Structure formats: structure tokens, C-alpha cells
Structure 1
Amino acid sequence: MPPAADAPHGGGAAPAGVDGVLAGLRRHARHLVAELAGPVRRVRLRSGDTVLEVEWHGPAERVRPDDVPAVPPPDAAAQPPGPMTVRSPIVGTFYRAPEPGAAPFVAVGDLVRAGQVIGIVEAMKLMNEVTADRSGRVAAILVADGQPVEYDQPLVALDPA
């Protein structure tokens, strides 16, 4: 593998201090993004007090007309609206607040909108935002703060609003 573009002196030892830590975090971010199967919207890496956070604000993925069904499946159309759940996108540790001691993202009774952050799941020192895919009112928080969660595990129950 060729030396990283930000590695000092052709990939030798990184300089001490914040610059060296940032260089290492950038290398880790590049490797992580290259290994992930899907598109990445945000990466946050931390080493001690140094944090590297990158967020992409590009256009949404293009969808071909052939990929979108013309009519919803019959089961989806027949189901009455009821509580839905926001599920974990990844295996990790669920946190209700952005940092220890901070107010939680949501509480029972709160109204949330589609795309609103309801929590984070930490996996391999990366903080992955969990967002609601629909609007609704928080009916229940299904996982305690700091608890391990599995992929697709229900985290928050939402009633239609």
C-alpha cells in the first residue's frame, strides 16, 4: 500500500502532538470508509482529546425509476397506522444523549420529525446517529442508556402524529 498522502516523510513516524494524532485519525478514517459496504454520511474518530469529524453534504443517491415500485405492496396498504419502532442500524452501545450529563435527544411524549436524531449507537469508537424515518410521538424508550444493542433491535417506539 502506498504511503498516505498526509503521512509525514513518505509514511514514516508521525510527528508528536495534535498533528500526528490527526494524521493517524485521517488514515483510520480512509481505511474505514473504504471497507464499508454502503455510502457514508458521517465519520467521527477520537484519540484522547483530539477528535476528527467528517460529514458529507452531497446530493442524495440517485434512484432509477425501475427501482421504485409503482404500487405499494398489498400488506403495507392494508395495515392500519399504529406504533412503529426506530431500530438500531448497527451492533454497538446505545446512548440517549450526545455526551454524558447532556439532555437526552428525545423523551417519552416528545414529537419527532422524520430525520431527527433520537440517539446514537457507538461501534468501534464511532458514534453513529440513529434517526427517525417517520414523524411521530415518542411512546416508549425501549433500551436503557449505555446498553448493548443488536442490529435491527427496536430502540424507540413512535405513535403516529
Structure 2
Amino acid sequence: MIAFRELQSLVNQMQRSGLSRLEINGADYAIRMSCQPGSPRPAAAPEPEPVAAVEIPPAQVAVTAPMPGRLWLQDPLSGKNVGPVSGPVEAGCLLALVQAGPLCLPVRAPQDGILASIDVTQGQAVEYDQPLMQLDIKEQDHAQHRP
């Protein structure tokens, strides 16, 4: 079978070369085309108007707990924040600590972004892989981070 695009191409070639008739026979089809030599081509569709650039809203990436335990956003002795509470963060930036017994594991930013929200509170018990915070990231950065 011959594709429609191939037929369109054949018609255009016929018009350019001045042919008025073309016949094609295949194993299970036959095509007979006739056109006026030098006949004008159909008018091309008007070009679409340019579309204004659309700003893509940032995607969000969840920062999750590396293990079950107690979450520390602030040092329990000094009261100072372990990490930033808002604003831009870089990949690997320390955001919090999760304590299980005497062991504390860092909670780090998985990539550059803006700390959009903290979904837990100081001293809260958390489970493995529980979302703790949300980072706003650019869409192209998000595509690179997908597993």
C-alpha cells in the first residue's frame, strides 16, 4: 500500500514536471492520477501566530527520612537550626538530622532548589522514606533527577 504522504509527493512532482497523467500498479493495488500540467498548487495554510513563552511552574521534590527515628530541625542543646528553614539550598546541603538510638543520620537536599515547605516538626517521630520537606526545582533539573 502506498502512504498518503507519498501520494502528495507524487502529485507535487507531477505538477512541477508538467505530467498530466500517472499510473502506478502494485501487487494488490492500482493508482491512476490525473492533473492539469502546471496547475497551481493548493494555497498553503497560513502560518500560525507565534505563541508567547509559557513559564513552567517549578516541580517539587520530596526530601524523605533516611531511616525511622526522631527528627531534629534544631540542635537540642543550643537551639540553633541544623539547616536552613527556607530559601535556596544546594544539592547535599544539610537540612535536618534523624536520630535512632545513639545514631544520627543527616537529611540532605537531593538537588539544588528552594526549600518550599517543612512538613514535620522538631522532635517528631518519622518513618523510613516519610516526606519531611518539599523542594521547588526547575523542570529541567527535575527531569535529570528522575530515577
What's the TM-score once normalised by structure 1's chain length?
Answer: 0.47
What's the TM-score once normalised by structure 2's chain length?
Answer: 0.51
Q: Which residue of 2 aligns with 1:141?
A: 118
| Paired residues for 1:142-161 under 5 Å | 142-160=119-137
Q: Which residue of 2 aligns with 1:82?
A: 59
CA deviation after TM superposition for structure 1 residue 97, in Å:
2.0
Structure 1, 80-89 or 141-150: larger mean CA deviation: 80-89
Q: CA contact under 8 A between 2:82 and 2:97: conserved in structure 1? A: no
Structure 2 stretches of 5 or more lacking a match?
1-56, 139-147
Letter in 1 for 2:85: A
**In the alignment, which of 102, 107, 111 is matched to residue 80 of structure 2?**
102
| Paired residues for 1:41-60 under 5 Å | none
CA deviation after TM superposition for structure 1 residue 142, in Å:
0.6
Question: How many correspondences in the alignment?
Answer: 81
Distance in 2 (CA, whole Å) between partners of 1:157 and 1:98 is 21
| Paired residues for 1:107-126 under 5 Å | 107-108=85-86, 110-126=87-103
Whose radius of gyration is greater, 1 or 2?
2
Distance in 1 (CA, whole Å) between partners of 2:85 and 2:99 is 20
Is residue 91 from structure 1 mapped to residue 52 from structure 2 by the alignment?
Answer: no
Letter in 2 for 1:131: R
Q: CA contact under 8 A between 2:69 and 2:125: conserved in structure 1? A: yes
Q: CA contact under 8 A between 2:116 and 2:134: conserved in structure 1? A: yes
- 4+ residue segments displaced more than 3 Å: none
Assess, with a 3 A threshold, how the Cα gap between structure 1 residues 81 and 102 changes in structure 2: closer, same or farther: closer
Letter in 2 for 1:122: Q
CA deviation after TM superposition for structure 1 residue 103, in Å:
2.7
Higher strand content, 1 or 2? 2
Which SS does the other structure have where 2:122 is aligned?
coil
Q: CA contact under 8 A between 1:98 and 1:119: conserved in structure 2? A: no
CA deviation after TM superposition for structure 1 residue 102, in Å:
1.2
> Which structure ranks higher in relative contact order (CA pairs < 8 Å, sequence separation ≥ 6)?
2
Q: Percent identity between the aligned chains? A: 36
